[in-house]
Amino acid sequence: MVTAVPGRNDPCPCGSGRKFKACCGRLPDRQRAGEPDEPSEDQTALVDELGELALLIDAGHYLELEQRARRLLSAQPALGAAWQLLGIALRAQSKDPLPALERAAQLLPHDPVAQLNLGNAYGRVGRLREAAISFNRALELRQQFPEAYANLAAVQIELGQFHQAESSCREALKIRPDYTDALRNAAVAQMHLGRNEEAHLNCTRALQLEPDSAATLNALGNVLRHMARLDEAMVCFRRALHLQPDFAEAHVNLANALRSVGQLDAAAASYRRALECRPDFVAAHAELATTLRLQRRTAECEASCARALALDPRHVPALVALAELRADLGHFSAAEEIFRRAIAIDPQAVEPCAGIARLRRLTRADSDWLASACRLIESGGSASRQLQLHFAVAKYFDDTGQYDQAFAHFRRANELSRQCGSVHDRDAMTRAVDRLMRTSSVDMRLSAIAMPDSSRPVFVVGMLRSGTTLAEQILAAHPAVYGAGELSFWSSQAGILTAEAEADTATLATLAHDYLQLLAGLSAGALRVVDKMPTNFFFLGLIHAALPNARIIHMQRNPIDTCLSIYFQQFEAANTYTNDLHDLAHYYREYRRIMQHWRSTLPPGALLEVPYEGLVADPETWSRRMIGFIGLPWDPHCLEFYKAERAVVTASKWQVRQKINNTSVNRWQHYADHVEPLRSLLE
């Protein structure tokens, strides 16, 4: 039996922040104005009983609390405070507290804490608009209620009402300037509004107040991820998980960051850990599906989508993942049908609306789609939301030949993209290329030492949007070739060999062995396996040193066409150079500089240069040349690459399923009035 009952003016043990007499120790409603101020003996006994129940919360004895609250309610079913305590007990045992808290709010219509608790319960089960109503009622009853403001902000964030959420946090912080929940929620709202620096300051301040807060570390990690500071973000998520290993949201956020840097296996493992913590976490199922899709594990992706939709048939992100999977496989009509199903569920959803634009060439007959997309733009929202719509609308105008309007939307999309990422550091890029060129001399000397003689690896490299997907699709149409897509192996391993750590043959041999094992796991029987990670051009010295018999195909395209095509696509925030024409021009020059270095250092026969324009003008000649270069006999299937059933997960998934054409050659001339920063690349 608990005996240390709180005094009537002590803080209530339920955590409401109110005095005990105004919360769980509230006198029964029959004591009215005009009656004696001193409670009766029965009332005093009831207050003592409620106090003992409240103290069971501190002791963590929730089953006993539930049992005693139910006994009390059997005698006094109209006792609102007991219903509140029952709700707390049920919630702590992962039972449904909502009926108890709804009854408490009915019985205590003027109690702001009852409304707060009910709002929290609605929020936990996704009834967000009802939660917002309860929090607003609480604030009507008590204006100086920072918890209600902060929790209302959390719901507003879930509803995408980021300006309102920031305003709610501001009100909470007026009342309690050091309130970490409000600081954290303000940061999340500001992050979605593209104000990353302010978000970072608020998270940092919250963490200073509570250094061991897993929730704040998780929020800070998300802010850093939006700033493209991915390594720091992952440190925050891992610290949060060290403090709270079953923090499912932090597992998902760590997985999102890992996926952003191409560590798909590690990302999938983190999503699965989130699902171990919370098997019914619909968002984790949907994000795992996307990761499996990027790994081209189509059957597993489909299964994850099915699990998400079994839990919530109206979960739009799961429908989006399923639609993208259909598109990867070339089933574009089916993908559009699923996107439209998602739009019918949530007309304000951006991803399915934008997704339709990527499935086919739009025409003026798509005016209804255009009107819907423009309405979504006008409705406002976060920078990350708006930029997707501007890219999609820009594609409509590009497809329909309205190029000035298209470029205006492309420009706006990239302005918003810059708000969601970090500034491109041109000097750092130049230093990185200088370092690679210096260390490559070590790699070249070691390449003369015996290394694995496998000729299975084929690398297709070049700038993004230079035709690497087309080249892979042609090669993979050969029956002896497997197209592995974009493998992140070399970008993740390249840090092993730096200017500060001299290369050695043992390290190179380990890299070669591990890479060949990776290829074997992807396709045990193919004579050649194509890795078309475009940015492997950075690591050609290391690749050749470890795998001297690998063949490297370098795709080249008109530099302005290449840079504009990049500018016209949405990329991960880690690609900091893609949303500014001056940054693109600088990056292209550095790419060209390092490729010239490889031409002068790689041995003859290791590298085949393929002009994109030549390939589309004379596909058979250049296709035969590529097949011969990788040491295989010609096969006519290579000219029918667009019929292949394989999954294609890049932005070119629609284009590479069309017969080869030259519509993208000299495309930049439609935008001649807008490309001044790129013109010097033609010199």
Q: What is the pLDDT of residue 500?
A: 42
554: which 2 tokens? 């370098």
Q: Which residue has 């489909």 as its token pair?
A: 302
pLDDT bucket at 628, cuts 50 / 70 / 90 = very high
Lowest mean pLDDT among 27-31, 247-251, 266-270, 283-287: 27-31
Q: Specify the higher pLDDT residue, 481 or 501.
A: 481
Number of H helices, E strands in the chain: 31, 5
How much is the pLDDT for 94?
87
Nearest CA among 578, 557, 553 for reference residue 681: 557
Q: What is the pLDDT of residues 297-306, one digit of tens each?
A: 999 999 999 9
- Encoded tokens for 86: 């029952």
Mean pLDDT computed over every residue of the chain: 88
Does residue 359 register a pLDDT over 60?
yes
Average pLDDT over residues 415-443: 83
Neighbours of 170 (CB within 10 A): 14
| pLDDT confidence bin for 12, thresholds 50/70/90 | low
Q: What is the pLDDT of residue 31?
A: 39
Q: How confident is the model at residue 413 (pLDDT cuts 50, 70, 90)?
A: very high
pLDDT per position as a tens digit, 317-334: 999 999 999 998 889 999
pLDDT of residue 5: 38
For residue 198, give Cα distances in angstroms to 51, 189, 426, 530, 573.
43, 10, 25, 44, 18
Q: What is the pLDDT of residue 3?
A: 32
Residue listed under structure tokens 């403001």: 149
pLDDT score recorded for residue 661: 76
Structure confidence at residue 573 (pLDDT): 67
pLDDT of residue 2: 31
Do residues 182 and 169 make contact, with C-beta atoms less than 8 angstroms apart? yes
| Residue 1 pLDDT class (50, 70, 90 cuts) | very low
- In tens, the pLDDT along 66-116 reads 999 999 999 889 998 889 899 989 988 989 999 999 999 999 999 999 999
Among 27-36, 369-378, 388-397, the minimum mean pLDDT is found in: 27-36
Residue 70 CA to residue 466 CA, distance in Å, equals 69
Query: Which pLDDT score is estimated for 170?
Result: 96
Count of beta carbons in the 10 Å neighbourhood of residue 375: 13
Distance of CA 227 to the CA centre of its chain: 13
Rounded Cα–Cα distance for residues 159 and 663 (Å): 42
- Burial string for 621-638 (b: 16+ CB within 10 Å, else e) reads ebbeebbebbebeeeeeb
Q: What is the pLDDT of residues 117-148, one digit of tens each?
A: 999 999 988 889 999 999 999 999 999 999 99
The closest alpha carbon to 161, from 122, 120, 131, 139, belongs to 131
Q: What is the CA angle 125-184-262, rounded to 5?
A: 80
Q: What percent of the chain has pLDDT over 70?
A: 88
pLDDT of residue 8: 43
Q: Are 36 and 45 in contact (CB under 8 A)?
A: no
Tell me the pTM: 0.80
| 486-507 per-position pLDDT tens digit | 898 898 776 555 534 455 788 8
Is residue 443 very low, low, confident or very high in pLDDT (cuts 50, 70, 90)?
low
Phi-psi region of 573 (alpha: psi -120 to 50; beta: other; left: phi over 0): alpha
Kindly report, residue by residue over 331-352, the tens digit of the pLDDT. Answer: 999 999 999 999 999 999 999 9
Over residues 295-315, the mean pLDDT reads: 94
